Chain A
Amino acid sequence: MRTQALIVFLSVLSAVTVFGQAKLPAYSKQSLPNGATLIMLRKPDVPLVSVSVLFRGGSEAVAAEKTGLAAITAELLRRGTEKRTAEQINGQLDALGAVMSSGSDAQSSMVAVEFTTRTSAKALEILSDLLLHPAFPDAEFKKVLAQRIDGVKSSKDNPARSIGQYFNPFVYPAGHPYARPSMGDETTLARITRDDVAGFFKTNYVGRNMILIAAGDFDPAQLGAQLSQMASALPAGEAFPAPKVAPVQYASGRLLLIDKPDATQTYFRIAMPGVDRYSRDRVPLMIINTLFGGRFTSMLNDALRVNAGLTYGAGSQVIMDRAPGVIYINTYTRTETTGKAIDMALDVLKSLREEGLSPEQLASAKAYIKGGFPTQRLETADQLANVIGDLEVFGLNKGEIDDFFSSIDAVTVERANAVVKRYFTDANLQFLLVGNASKIQDAVKKYAPKMKVVPVSAPGFSAPAF
C-alpha cells in the first residue's frame, strides 16, 4: 500500500459553488501501512471537529440468525475499555462537551465523535482507547442486549416505526444480506453472545476496512499525527469480502399484513426491484423519484394528500446500496380508506409508467435537487464527513459530488422515460401493510395472489414463508 498524501490542503473557504456547480471542498487522503484510509478536511468556520471512524462490513457481515450483532458491537465500544468503565467514558465525554454516536448500517460500522477544537487531544485519547482497547464487559453486554430487546417491543407499539423493521425481511429473500431488520429482533438478539461481539470486532475493525475522516477546525499537522498513530495501531486484518448478491426478483405478487388490532390507520408500502449504488441509472432515478414521491408536489403526495386528503403524506424511495435494492411507495391512511389509498397509489404508478415525464417536470426536479443540495449535504463539517464517508464506503470517487450537477443536466426526457419504463413496474408488486386486519383483510387480498397475516404480537419481524 502506498503511504502518500494525494492532495495537499488548500485554503478552504466557502468554495462550495463554482460556476453553479456544487463542489466538495479540498481534502487530503492518505493510505496507511495497515490499509486504513485517513481523510482530513479543514472547515474552520466553527471551532468544532467531527471525527468519524468507519469500518466496511456492517450488518451484511453478520450471520442472519444474529442480526443486530454489528450494532451491538458498535454500542459496546463505548461501554468499557481496559482502563475505563462505561460510566467514566460517559462522564469524560460529557465534561468535554463532546458528543459520541455509534452504530451500523448494511455496509459499515461506525463510531463518530464531535468535540471542540481546544479539547482535541483529550477527546482523541478517549476515542483511541475505545477503538484500541475495548473490554466488552459482560455486565454491559447483558444490559445492552436487554435494552435492545425492549427497544424492539417499544417500536411495535408505533406502526410508523415498526413498518420499517418488517420491511427488509419481507422484500429481500431469505439469506439475502439485507433481509434483516436494522435493529435485530427479540429472537436474533437473544442468540448473540459476548464472544460473538469480541469476534466481530476482531474480524471487522481492522486497518483494511477502516476509513477515518476528520472534518472541521483543526491543525492538520497535529491532528493528522494523532489520527494516523491511532489508526496504525489496529492490525491490517482481512478486508471484508463483500459477497456478490443477485438483484431482487419476485416470481409473484405478495401481500404481508401485520395485524395491529387497535390501529385506526393503515400504514403501507408497495415495493418493486431497484438498483445498486453503482447503477448507471442512479442519477435519472433520483430525478424520477423526486417527481414520483420525493417532494411535496410529487405525483404521489399531490394525488393522495393534496387532491384527496387521504393522508398526511405519501412518498417513494429508491434504496441504493452496495447490492441492488428496492423502490417503494410509502404512505398511510385511515383504516376505512385503505383500499382507496392503495388504488390511488397504484393509479399514480400506472400514470408514471404510461404517460412518462414532461420536459417541464424534468426541469423542475433538476432545479429542486440542485437548489437544496448545498444546505442538505455540504453546509456543515459533519455533513461533509458523511458525504465523503459514503463515497469511500461505496468506492466512488469525488466526481460523484463534483460532477453531480452536470450529471443531472445530462439527463434528457427520453433517457428519464426509458428509465421509468425499466423500473416502475406493475408486475409482481410486494405489499406490506400494518393495520387492523379484521377490518381490512378482505378488502386488500385482491392486490396480490398470495397473502399472509401475522399478529404484531408474534416475536420478531421476520416474514412468513409464502
Chain B
Amino acid sequence: MRRILSLCVLLAVPLCAQDVKVTTHTLSNGMKILVHEDHDVPNVALYFFYKIGSRNEKPGTTGISHYFEHMMFNGAKKYGPKQFDIEMEKNGGSNNAYTSRDVTVYTDWFPKHTMELMFDMEADRIRDLSFDPKIVESERGVVYSERRTSVDNNPAGVLDEQLSAAAYTAHPYQWPVVGWASDIEAWTMDDLKAHFKMGYAPNNCLMVVSGDVTPAEVLALAKKYIEPIPAQPPPPPIRTMEPEQLGERRVTVRRPAQLPMVMISYHIPRTRHADSASLELLETLLSTGRSSRLYRRLVETDQLALNIRAGSQPSLDPGQFEFSAQVRSGKSPADLEKAIYEELAKLAKDGVPAEELEKARNQSLANLYRQLKTIAGKANLLGTYEVFFGDWNMVNKAAGELEKVTPADIQRVAAKYFTEKNRTVATLIPESKGSAQ
C-alpha cells in the first residue's frame, strides 16, 4: 500500500436488494471502463485496476509490483517528479494505491472539476513513466520502511508471512506482496522497466469511475487521453499450480512479545468457483459479529483468545482461508488450536441450523452493502467483482448467490476444505530479550 489508510469504522446492515447501475465501454486499445453515476456529493472516485501483482513476480524480484506502485507517483514525461501529487492536491484531490497478490490498484478521489486533469495525468504515467535512478534509490528506502512497519515490527505481519511461505511450496502466492527484505535491497532498474512493460498496458487495466459524472463525460475524456495509448502483450499466464497438500505443516516464530499468536491456513479454490458463496457464509458464521461461533467460543466462553479473525481474500488462483488469533495471558496456543478444530469439525459433522444460516446471510449482505455507502466503496467493489468474478454485476447478483446456499452446502464445504491434511499452522512463541536501562 502506498500509504497507511486510517480506517473509519463503517457500520453495516443488510438492505433490500439494491440495483447498482453501471455503463460499460471498451476502448479500442482494450481498456474496459465502468461508470456509475452518483450525484450525492460533488466528487468523483476514479480507480485503475492493473491485473498485475506479486503472483506475476519471480524469486529475486519479489515485491516489485508493490514497489512499482510507488514508482508510478514519481514522475512521467509531462508531469515530472512530485507533479502528480502537487497538481492533484492543489486542485482538491487526494490519492492512494494498493497492491495485492493479483492486482495493483490506483485510487483517485477529487472534486468533479478536476476530472480532466486526472485523465491527463493518469494517461501520462501509463504511457511515459520515467525512471530516475536517484528516485529509484530513495523509494527503495520508503518501501523498506513500509516493510519494517507492516512486517518486521509487527508480530502479526511476521507470522502471516511465515504462514503463507509454508502453505505454498510452488505457487507465487508463497512470497509476501511487500517482498523479501533481500529482494527489496537488490532489485534493479532493468527489473523495474521489465515489470512496467509486462503489466502497464491499457488492455491489462480496468477503469472504474463512480460519482458526480455522466458516462458521456467520462467516455469523452477516456477517448481523448487513454485511447491513443497502444495495447501491448498481456503478462504471461502463471503456469505453476500449487500441488495438493499431503499433510499438516507447522511453523514456529520465536521473538520478543507479550502474548502468543496463532494463525491457521487451509487451501481453498480461486474466487471464481462454485464454493465461493458457501465459503463467504462460513466466514460470517465463524467470525462476524459477537454471536459468531468462534467469537463466542474463543473470546467469550473459553476466553482463550483476545480476538479472532477468519476469512479469505479474493484471488485469481487457489487461495487461503485463514484464521488468526491473539492468545490470552496464561492460555496455551495448543488449547486455542484445539478449540478452533472442534468448532470446524462440528460444522462438518452437524451442519448449521437454518436460522443461523439466515443470520449469516443477512450479515454477509450487510458487509456487501456497507461498501455501497460511498462513491469510493462502490468504485472498489465494482472493480473487485469485475476482476475476480469477471462480472461487475455480481454487485446486484450477490444476494441471489448467497440465497442459494443451503445448510447442506455449508456442511459439505466445511468438510471438504477444513481438513488436517490441508492445514498449515504458524505459532508465535514469545521469548524474552534483555532491556537496556
Contacts and interface: CB of A to CB of B under 8 A. Distances in A.
Contacts of A261: 256, 433-436
A98 interface: yes
Given A97-B362, A159-B153, A14 B142 contact: no
Given A98-B13, A153-B258, A297-B82, A265 B153 contact: yes
Interface string B142-165: 111110110011111000000000
Interface string A297-337: 10000100111111111000000000000000000111000
Given A99-B11, A143-B303, A296-B94, A14 B40 contact: yes
A427 B422 CA distance: 61
Q: Identify the interface centre among B145, B152, B366: most chain A CB within 10 Å of its CB.
A: B145
A94 B43 contact: no
Contacts of A310: 141, 145
A146 interface: yes
4 pairs of A and B residues whose beta carbons are closest in the complex: A371-B92, A309-B141, A114-B11, A309-B138
Given A259-B436, A296-B3, A310-B145, A371 B91 contact: yes
A287 B149 CA distance: 29
Interface string B319-344: 00000001011000000000000000
A46 interface: yes
Contacts of A97: 12-14, 362-363, 365-366
Contact of B306 (A151, A307, A374, A379): A151
Contacts of B289: 90, 93-94, 99
Contacts of B375: 375, 379
B153 to A, nearest CB: 5
Interface in A392-427: none
Interface of A: 14, 16-17, 45-48, 50, 86-87, 90-91, 93-99, 101, 112-116, 119, 143, 146-147, 149-151, 153-154, 156-160, 259-265, 295-297, 302, 305-313, 332-334, 363-364, 367-368, 370-372, 374-375, 378-380, 382, 436-438, 441, 453, 455-457
A374 B42 contact: yes
27 contacts: A47-B16, A94-B288, A94-B363, A95-B359, A97-B366, A101-B11, A116-B15, A119-B13, A143-B303, A147-B306, A157-B155, A261-B436, A265-B148, A308-B138, A308-B141, A309-B138, A312-B142, A332-B149, A368-B94, A371-B91, A371-B94, A371-B110, A374-B43, A375-B41, A375-B43, A382-B10, A455-B436
Nearest to A302: B82
A16 B39 CA distance: 10
A457 B363 contact: no
Nearest to B255: A262
Contacts of B40: 14, 16, 45, 379
A14 B41 contact: yes
Contacts of B391: none
Contacts of B369: 46
B362 A17 contact: no
A90 B259 contact: no
B155 A265 contact: no
A135 to B, nearest CB: 16
B91 A160 contact: no
Contacts of A262: 255-256, 433
B72 interface: no
B24 interface: no
B109 interface: yes
Given A99-B12, A262-B256, A309 B137 contact: yes
Interface of B: 3-4, 9-16, 39-43, 82, 85-86, 89-95, 109-111, 114, 137-146, 148-149, 152-156, 255-259, 288-292, 296, 299-300, 303, 306, 326, 328-329, 359, 362-363, 365-366, 369, 372-376, 433-437
A264 B4 contact: no
Contacts of A438: 436
B114 A371 contact: yes
Given A16-B42, A309-B140, A264 B11 contact: no
A379 B143 CA distance: 33
Nearest to B41: A374
A150 B329 contact: yes
A153 B306 CA distance: 11
B291 A116 contact: no
Q: Identify the interface centre among B86, B111, B299: most chain A CB within 10 Å of its CB.
A: B111
A380 B373 CA distance: 6
B306 A46 contact: no
Nearest to B361: A97
Given A309-B137, A371-B94, 15 more contacts: A17-B42, A97-B362, A97-B363, A150-B328, A156-B258, A158-B155, A160-B149, A160-B154, A296-B85, A309-B138, A312-B3, A312-B146, A370-B92, A375-B41, A436-B436
A437 B436 contact: yes
A456 B435 CA distance: 8
B43 A455 contact: no
Contacts of A94: 288-292, 359, 363
A99 B13 contact: yes
A367 B91 contact: yes
Contacts of A116: 13-15
B1 to A, nearest CB: 9
Contacts of B43: 371, 374-375
A334 B149 CA distance: 10
Contact of B142 (A96, A156, A259, A309): A309
Given A143-B303, A264-B152, A367-B90, A457 B366 contact: no
A368 B328 contact: no
A298 to B, nearest CB: 9
Nearest to B288: A94
A255 B289 CA distance: 42
Contact of B257 (A46, A86, A157, A378): A157
Contacts of A143: 300, 303
B303 A146 contact: yes
Q: Identify the interface centre among A112, A309, A334, A363: most chain B CB within 10 Å of its CB.
A: A309
B94 A87 contact: no
B11 A382 contact: yes
A265 B149 contact: yes
Contacts of A153: 258-259, 329
Contact of B153 (A158, A306, A371, A380): A158
A46 B373 contact: yes
A291 to B, nearest CB: 10
Q: Identify the interface centre among A296, A307, A374, A378: most chain B CB within 10 Å of its CB.
A: A296
